[in-house]
Amino acid sequence: MAQFKAAIIGCGGRGRSHARGYSRSDDVDIVACADPMEENAKRLAEEYGVPKTYADHKEMLAAEKPDIVSVTVWPHMHLDFIRDAVEAGAKGIHAEKPMAPTWEECRETHRLATENNVVTTFCHQRRFGARFVKARDLVNEGVIGDILRYEGYCPNMYDWGTHWFDMFFWYNNDEPAESVLAQVHSEPKPRSVFGVDLEAQGVSVVSYKNGRKGLVITGIGGGGCDNRIIGTNGVIEVIAHQDPPLRYISSKTNGWAQPDLSGIMADRDDTTCSVLDLVDCLKSGEEPRLSVRKALQATELIFATYHSARIRKRVDLPLQPGDNAFHAMLEEGVYA
């Protein structure tokens, strides 16, 4: 028997991705998975040789007493299910992003995890992606000079933006942010992603304590890449699902240079790396690369963005109001 028993709550796409990760570890047996949609639970169980399925996650937690729990359901269930896993005695929890639909729930999640010493991670798995790892190396090697700004383009600040706010911290070696100035637009009937209403278009400018800036642009049009990092002596572009996935140009290159990414996590996907890192950190006691602390700092920028749009001023961190200001504005009829 392996050292750790893992159980998965929510057997959709991400539940199966987490299962793939555990299946790569000799230290973990997936003992059970839970989903009220029986066909989803059975599909995961069959694909990964999981011996038991449950319709009810609380029943599963009580019966199986797992060491590690994956919470791979939609965001409004994250806090309650994380609390259930903590109360059931889990030592580690790997949850999906975004943390939760309101800032208060996110702070509560962080409190629950830290006060109960449960090693908790959120799947901002791009911290393991080869192009993002290499981009950060290039930043730290100074190939584009001193860093001025990180840019990210995506559909919305929350479901997608959480990754870019996290990536900016990654590129910035987790140096803290100090303020956010932003604006967002919504159609009268907003788009909903994984059950959460989101803006149609927005812009958010983050200031970091080390003087660097972050710029997230959401909605209409794109920036021609996912992330652009601008330095005093050049530019790095990170481009997902396209070739080349990473390129940079500086006064020292002859046109665009394409760094070699082979060998960086080449034999495993980003989510598998995130799962294996949590398992390693449970053994070593080190802070995981995707720790709840780091997830919280990225998530604060989402809710600070919405709060800045609401008050039409810069928000100096730490963010105080615990609500989701975008949802509050929808309820007030701001976008009607």
Ligand X SMILES: NC(=O)c1ccc[n+]([C@@H]2O[C@H](COP(=O)([O-])OP(=O)(O)OC[C@H]3O[C@@H](n4cnc5c(N)ncnc54)[C@H](O)[C@@H]3O)[C@@H](O)[C@H]2O)c1
Q: Alpha-carbon distance 135 to 236, whole Å?
A: 7
36 binds ligand X (CB under 6 A): yes
Query: Are the CB atoms for 148 and 230 separated by under 8 Å?
Result: yes
Q: How far is CA 47 from CA 2, 155, 226, in A?
A: 19, 32, 32
74 binds ligand X (CB under 6 A): yes
Using the minimum distance from each CB to ligand X, give the nearer residue, 123 or 138: 123
Out of 13, 49, 318, 322, the only residue in the binding site for ligand X (CB under 6 A) is 13
Out of 84, 96, 199, 300, the only residue in the binding site for ligand X (CB under 6 A) is 96
Q: Alpha-carbon distance 1 to 102, whole Å?
A: 40
Out of 63, 104, 185, 194, the only residue in the binding site for ligand X (CB under 6 A) is 194
Out of 73, 82, 86, 180, the only residue in the binding site for ligand X (CB under 6 A) is 73
Using the minimum distance from each CB to ligand X, give the nearer residue, 79 or 215: 79
Using the minimum distance from each CB to ligand X, give the nearer residue, 60 or 147: 60
Which span sits near ligand X by CB under 6 A: 5-13, 103-111, 113-121, 244-252? Answer: 5-13
Which span sits near ligand X by CB under 6 A: 31-39, 108-116, 215-223, 288-296? Answer: 31-39
Query: Are the CB atoms for 21 and 272 separated by under 8 Å?
Result: yes
> Minimum distance from CB of 41 to ligand X (Å)?
8
Crossing angle of helices 38-48 and 13-23, rounded to 10°: 20
Q: Alpha-carbon distance 122 to 71, whole Å?
A: 9
Q: Half-sphere exposure of residue 45, counting CA atoms within 13 Å on the CB side?
A: 18
Which span sits near ligand X by CB under 6 A: 30-38, 107-115, 177-185, 257-265? Answer: 30-38
Q: How far is CA 119 from CA 4, 264, 279, 283, in A?
A: 13, 25, 10, 11
> Minimum distance from CB of 329 to ligand X (Å)?
22
DSSP state string for 242-257: SSSSEEEEETTSSS-B
34 binds ligand X (CB under 6 A): yes
Which span sits near ligand X by CB under 6 A: 36-44, 180-188, 216-224, 279-287? Answer: 36-44
> Minimum distance from CB of 254 to ligand X (Å)?
36
- Residue spans of alpha helices (H) in the chain: 13-23, 38-48, 57-64, 78-87, 103-115, 130-141, 161-171, 270-284, 292-311, 325-332
Which span sits near ligand X by CB under 6 A: 10-18, 45-53, 142-150, 177-185? Answer: 10-18
159 binds ligand X (CB under 6 A): yes
- Total residues at interface with ligand X (CB under 6 A): 23
Q: How far is CA 265 from the centre of its chain?
A: 19
Which residue number has the CB closest to ligand X? Answer: 12
Out of 53, 70, 72, 172, the only residue in the binding site for ligand X (CB under 6 A) is 72
Token pair 């959480």 is found at 162
Q: How far is CA 68 from CA 142, 200, 264, in A?
A: 39, 37, 27
Binding site for ligand X (CB under 6 A): 9-15, 34-37, 40, 57, 72-75, 96-97, 123, 125, 159, 194
